[in-house]
A and B are shown apart, each in its own frame.
Chain A
Amino acid sequence: MGKIREIFFGFLLAFSTSAFAEEAGSFKQTIAAFSESVDGFFNDYTGWFVGLIFKSVPIGDVGFPIIVGWLLLAALIFTLYFGFVQFKRAGMAIDIVKGKYTDPNSKEDGEVSHFQALTTALSGTVGLGNIAGVGAALAIGGPGATFWMIVCGLLGMASKFCECTLGVKYRTVLPSGVISGGPMYYLSQGLAEKGLGGLGKVLAVGFALMCILGALGGGNMFQANQAHAMLTYAFDVPSEYGVITGLVLAALVFSVIVGGMPSIASVTEKIVPWMAGLYIGMAVIVIIANIDQVGAAFSAIFAGAFTGAGVAGGFIGALIQGLKRATFSNEAGVGSAAIAHSAVKTKEPITEGLVSLLEPFVDTVVICTMTALVITIAGLNVGPFDGSGLTGVTLTAASFTETAGVFKYLLALAVVMFAFSTMISWSYYGLKAWTYLFGEGKKIELAFKMMFCVFVVIGATIQFGAVIDFSDAAIFAMSIFNIIGLYFLMPIVKKELASFIARVKSGEIKTYEK
């Protein structure tokens, strides 16, 4: 009887696996065809847009994207205009976070502690930009890209300071009682105050449009895609099964953004800081375990920054990749952070601007550098740096795994959680832009939310190509509209900063020693 059962099960398994193999083959073809058509669609209809945003000017024998120069120049101008605020006022920013300017006895309902504010801010900065973005930057730009990422992070602190201050200053209470803020509001209202209402409206609408595209691209498809890429790397899951990853993620995203269940949002907010801690912990372990190689890794980073050895376009190539990926990671100048920071409970917009300037530092200068050290130490990223070998999240994961095999599982867990939380954040940015353009309303909001969930599945299913180019272009395009407005509005921020400092000095704003 036992033998008969064994034969029966053996037959069943053989039959089911061969049928499964056949079905899997056809499934693979269907997904490949779908992938190709989506990629083709993006190429045909959005190629001009990508070309326009990343229009390059020749520098030597390499094309330098104007948009990268635009962001770098803006960060440099803000740094000079605010008198190196990121260095001179970093102590004040830390004091604000520590609660030096907050009366400990006047805590209001629902107000978060400064420690909570800090952990939330830090966890919000760690994401796939630090993991996959650094992997991509180093695969194409070599170790030298790290140096330019750090430079971009340091300068970007001033851009973030400026935009987040304005985000709080010009936030609006909508008819429903909901507080809404971000570049859409400071561009339209701030410029209207200066008698440039028409320009402000155009910039605000342009920003909102790009923000929606950025939310669907970099804030959604890129995240879902890299989450599945990580599963493919860690567990050999076939890439065509991305549709399953996409459906699971979309269902969870759907329940959060459509359902609005409070406990789910709370759980996500609680888990993400732990994931950030886990990631940083792993990086610290790798660095300490290879402490003797850290000096050599830094040498490679500095040497590569100015020679660009093995990088297409030499040091300009390394610079482009460093700046592009740093911007993608810390979002300074893009305007998205101003949306998130505008919801904060504060009477002083400048305090939020000062706190926010710490984010690019932690995100890019500290965490991206740690990832870059892990990759450089592992030695898996070798020239020529043309992205043909390991790249993105797989390069980072492989580098972590060089030290301990178990890291790939922990990284997979962290990547999935980061992708999920980033999608939730960007759904919020996208929704803000959507409601700015089309107004508030349950049906209007639901339309965006449903579309967002569909894009999660698409992002996890298709292969990269034109889609990621488009995602990148949309996020960078946000900065065009945002930065033009920031140039007009930066005197307002300077005035706010001067007023705050004067009131602190005069004792009007009390300090509370802990």
Chain B
Amino acid sequence: MNESESCIVDLTRTLLKDGPKFLSHTLVITKSNAYLRPTVGAMMFCVVYIVVGGFLSSLAAYLLVVSTQYDLSIFVGGFGIAIGAFGIMLIQPFLRRVSFNKTSGVFDNRKDRNVKLHHIVSLQINNKIIQRKNALSYACYELNLLTLHGRRINILNHNNEDQLENDAVLLSMFLGVELKDYRREIIL
């Protein structure tokens, strides 16, 4: 591999293709710890699926007991399990505690390999436009970190620009690293 090529990291690029149209997390800073807290609104939308899935599964069980309509029970139950499982899958990222712990000295997002805090070089804010065929397109913002070894990891990804800016400033101060703004005008 060409060494010079392997060192190029494009900080203007966003890391994730998609993003929610709401505020998903906020940053909470304690004395030696900074962590992301999911918002109630974000959790609510996942809970809708779990509730609907649970309701349909219960309805299927009820139908199985009071009637002999096995086909309807299977149909309703199948939908219920699928929707409920989907809700559980959706809520999982919100339940994951992403933290920057000064005591242990690591950044842990329960997904990627842990990063030592002193390996974090800078934070970047990027913007993107999410486009869908059957929904209004919207702006979305990312807060990403860059490590000493050139790894980029996403920290925040939502569409509340003010909150993200505020959290980014607080986190850069907490970590003592530079915050770079790579937002640009996007022409579609």
Contact = CB atoms under 8 A, between A and B. Distances in A.
13 contacts: A13-B66, A17-B66, A177-B129, A177-B138, A177-B186, A234-B75, A235-B75, A251-B51, A261-B20, A262-B19, A264-B86, A265-B134, A412-B75
Contacts of B22: 259-260
A428 B45 contact: no
A332 to B, nearest CB: 18
Interface in B102-151: 128-139
A261 B157 CA distance: 12
Contacts of B69: 235-236
A192 to B, nearest CB: 23
A184 interface: no
B52 interface: yes
Contact of A177 (B19, B59, B139): B139
A450 to B, nearest CB: 14
B157 to A, nearest CB: 9
Given A177-B129, A251-B52, A409-B71, A432 B86 contact: no
Interface residues of A, number: 50
A267 B52 contact: no
Contacts of B14: 109
What's the dominant secondary structure at chain A's contact region? Answer: helix
Interface in B6-62: 13-14, 17-22, 44-46, 48-49, 51-52, 55-56, 59
A260 B135 contact: yes
A264 B136 CA distance: 15
Interface string A251-263: 1101101111111
Contacts of A180: 136
A407 B69 CA distance: 17
B95 interface: no
A179 B21 CA distance: 15
Interface bin, chain B:
35 or more
Interface string B138-173: 110000000000000000000000000000000000
Given A176-B139, A177-B186, A260-B21, A425 B131 contact: no
Interface in A14-36: 16-17, 20
A124 B55 CA distance: 30
Interface in B82-115: 83, 86, 90
B136 A431 contact: yes
B137 A343 contact: yes
Given A109-B13, A235-B69, A425 B130 contact: no
Given A263-B90, A409-B71, A412-B75, A343 B131 contact: yes
Contacts of B59: 244
A447 interface: no
B90 A248 contact: no
